[in-house]
Amino acid sequence: MPAYLRQKGYETIAAGKIFHQPRGAGKTPNPISDPDSGTFQQSGEVGTPGHKQYLDDYDQALWMELPTGKSQKPEQTGGEYLTKFGVWGPIPQPKEDCGDWKMADFGARFLQEKHEKPFFLAIGISRPHSPQLAPQEYFDRYPLDQIWVPEFPANDMDDIPPFAQSNFSSPFVRKVLEKDQLPKAVQGYLASMSFADDCVGRVLDALDNSPYKNNTIVVFWTDHGWQLGHKFRWEKYSLWRQGTNTPLVIRYPGMKTGGNKCHQAVSLMDLFPTILDLLNQPKPDFLEGQSLAGLLKKPTSKRSVPAVVTYPEGSHSVVFQQWNYILYKDGSEELYNHLSDPNEYANLATSPNTAS
The domain ranges of the chain are: 2-50+86-262, 306-356
**Which residues does 331 contact at the CB level (< 8 Å), separation at least 6?**
none
Residue 310 CA to residue 328 CA, distance in Å, equals 10
- Of 204, 44, 38, the closest CA to residue 117 belongs to 38
Query: Does residue 69 have a pLDDT over 70?
Result: no
Predicted confidence (pLDDT) at residue 311 exceeds the cutoff of 60: yes
Report pLDDT for 352: 79
**What pLDDT digit, counting tens, does each position of 226-246 carry?**
999 999 999 999 999 999 999
Q: How far apart are CA 96 and CA 2, in angstroms?
A: 28
* Predicted local confidence at residue 76, as pLDDT: 58
Which positions ≥6 away from 11 have C-beta within 8 Å?
39, 40, 115, 117, 118, 119, 120
CATH number of the domain located at residue range(s) 2-50+86-262 in this protein: 3.40.720.10
Closest CA to 99 of 127, 121, 141, 122: 127
pLDDT tens column, 110-126 = 999 999 999 999 999 99
pTM score: 0.94
In whole angstroms, give the CA distance from residue 271 to residue 309: 15
Q: Which candidate, 3, 2, 75, 5, places its Cα nearest to that of 280?
A: 5
3-16 per-position pLDDT tens digit: 999 999 999 999 99
Query: What's the pLDDT at 78?
Result: 67
> What does the pLDDT average to over 244-272?
95
Q: Is the model's pLDDT at 73 over the cut of 90?
A: no
Mean pLDDT calculated for residue range 45-66: 94
